[in-house]
Amino acid sequence: MLKKSLKYVIIGDGHAGNSAAETLRKGNPGSEIVIISSKPTHYFDHSLLATFLLDKKDITSLYVYPYTWYKENNIRLRLNQTITKVIPDKHELILAHNERVYYDRLLIASGAKPKLPESLSRYKNLLTVFTDAVDAMKLRERLGTFKHVTMVGGDCIGLHLAGAMLKLGKSVTFVLNEYNFWPLEFDETVKSKLIGCLKKKHIEVVADDMTTEIVRDGTGLNVMTKNGKIIKTDLAFLTSGMVPNIDFLDGSGIDVQTGILVDEYMHTSAQDIWAAGECATVYYPELKDYRQTTGEINAKALGNISARNMLDEKKVVSLAEPGKITIEGEDFITYGWKGFSIDI
């Protein structure tokens, strides 16, 4: 029998975390539920982030639930608090301000962060990221200060952002490598189709190449590539895909391989700890393989399944339908991203 007084702690206030909280609340009304998130803003719809750049709306307009929803559902929301360590043996989390938080059952739904290729790590300070509400607010402030942007690497966040940039009258260059475009199912045919579509949108594409160096040039930047191209630009965005956000698990003993390894029940290698959403590397029995997932639909589904397992239902994960995005009327299959168009 499931204990009523269980304390569920969820790391992450995104799609996976919130969907899990909702399921847990329904399944165990008497339990204590706490969501902890490192972000000062709260649960919002990422697919609207680019449109936020185009008008003067308040950031709260992107929020999925009003604050009152958490009160009504008796879910404690702790924003702007970062977990720095997980100690599975003690069922304890350590926060950046040194507080220790106990849990009976823990869900890690800490999402992903932009991948900084090791070869570009020394240029970190020259790269701009665009993944959360704070990034968007900062970027909106400085829209008047640049004309040309370069996307370093290829990913859908870059596409998403490019849509807004074009609308704002900025010119855009993509530097794409040969082998992947996160999170598209990618091969030579997809690549040429994608390049065609981008060119139709008057986006400059530097294909089959790689950014190797970024240097300041006056107020702007020079992005240099392996094939010797030098792109003069005002802003360079880091758009080389996303990687699980799991640094705080170092030393916890929880098994990871890029993301947190979970079995078909979304359970990690540590007792009473589950993981869901973009931070998890999930074992899918039908694939006989692990897969990293992304996208709103997947995060929600995985959050829900984890929660059901945290409620002692034995629920096996199943592969979500692949996602689909559309550019210039052409469809592209993704590992989970949906409902996305560059034509905003």
Partner 1 sequence: MKEEKTYLSSERESFDHLTAARRVERTVFFSTNKKDFAWMRENVPCQTACPASTNIPGYIYTDYQERYGRSYEINRSVNILPGVLGRICSRPCELSCRHGWPGFGESVAICHLKRVASDFKPEGHRIEESMFGPSGKKIAVVGSGPAGLGAAHDLAIFGHQVTIYEALERPGGMLRYGIPEFRLPRNILDIEISNILRLGVDLRAGVRVGKDIKLEELTKGYDAVLLTAGTYSPNKLGIKGETVEHVYSGLDFMMDANSGKDIFVGSKVLVVGGGYTAMDCARTSLRLGAKRVIINILTTEDYITVNREELNEVKTENVEIRGLVSIEQIERSGSNLNVKFRRNRLGGYSEKGERLAVPIKDSDFTDEADAVIYAIGQRPETNFAKGVIKLEKNSMIPFDRSNSATEVKGLFVAGDFGTGASTVIESIASGRSAAWSIDRYLMDRTRRKKVVRFEKYSEKQRERAWDFIPRQVMPTLPVKERVDQLEVELGLNRTLGKEESKRCYLCSLKFEIDVTRCIYCRYCMDVCPTNCIHTTKDVVTEEDGKQKLLVTDKWNEVSAIVIDNNNCIRCGNCKKVCPVECIDVVKSELIEQDVEA
Ligand X SMILES: Cc1cc2nc3c(=O)[nH]c(=O)nc-3n(C[C@H](O)[C@H](O)[C@H](O)COP(=O)(O)OP(=O)(O)OC[C@H]3O[C@@H](n4cnc5c(N)ncnc54)[C@H](O)[C@@H]3O)c2cc1C
Backbone φ and ψ of 212, nearest 5°: -115, -20
Cα diameter, the chain: 67
Please report how the helices 296-310 and 15-27 are oriented relative to each other, as an axis angle in degrees rounded to 10: 30
Q: Which is nearer to ligand X, 75 or 225 (CB)?
A: 75
Q: Are 308 and 273 in contact (CB under 8 A)?
A: no
Does 321 contact partner 1 by CB under 8 A? no
Q: Are 293 and 307 in contact (CB under 8 A)?
A: no
Q: What is the DSSP letter of 63?
A: B
Q: Which is nearer to partner 1, 85 or 193 (CB)?
A: 85
DSSP of 148-198: EEEEES-BHHHHHHHHHHHHTT-EEEEE--SS--BTB---HHHHHHHHHHH
Does 198 contact ligand X by CB under 6 A? no
Q: Of residues 88, 154, 259, 277, which one binds ligand X by CB under 6 A?
A: 277
Q: Are 221 and 234 in contact (CB under 8 A)?
A: yes
**Rounded-to-10 torsion of CA 265, 267, 273, 278:** -90
Minimum distance from CB of 257 to partner 1 (Å)?
A: 4
| Residues 187, 180: Cα–Cα separation, whole Å | 8
Provide the pairing of β-strand 230-233 with 235-238: unpaired
Per-residue interface string for the shown chain with ligand X, residues 148-187, x marking contact by CB under 6 A: ---------x--x---------------------------
Per-residue interface string for the shown chain with ligand X, residues 113-142, x marking contact by CB under 6 A: -----------------xx-----------
Does 283 contact partner 1 by CB under 8 A? yes
Does 340 contact ligand X by CB under 6 A? yes
Minimum distance from CB of 266 to partner 1 (Å)?
A: 15
Does 22 contact ligand X by CB under 6 A? no
Q: Which is nearer to ligand X, 46 or 225 (CB)?
A: 46
Per-residue interface string for the shown chain with ligand X, residues 59-88, x marking contact by CB under 6 A: -----------------------xx-----
In the complex, the residues that contact ligand X under the rule CB under 6 A are: 11-17, 36-39, 46-47, 49, 82-83, 109-111, 130-131, 157, 160, 245, 248, 277-278, 294-296, 299, 337-340
In the complex, the residues that contact partner 1 under the rule CB under 8 A are: 85, 117-119, 121, 178-179, 210, 212-213, 226, 251, 255-258, 261, 269, 283, 288-290
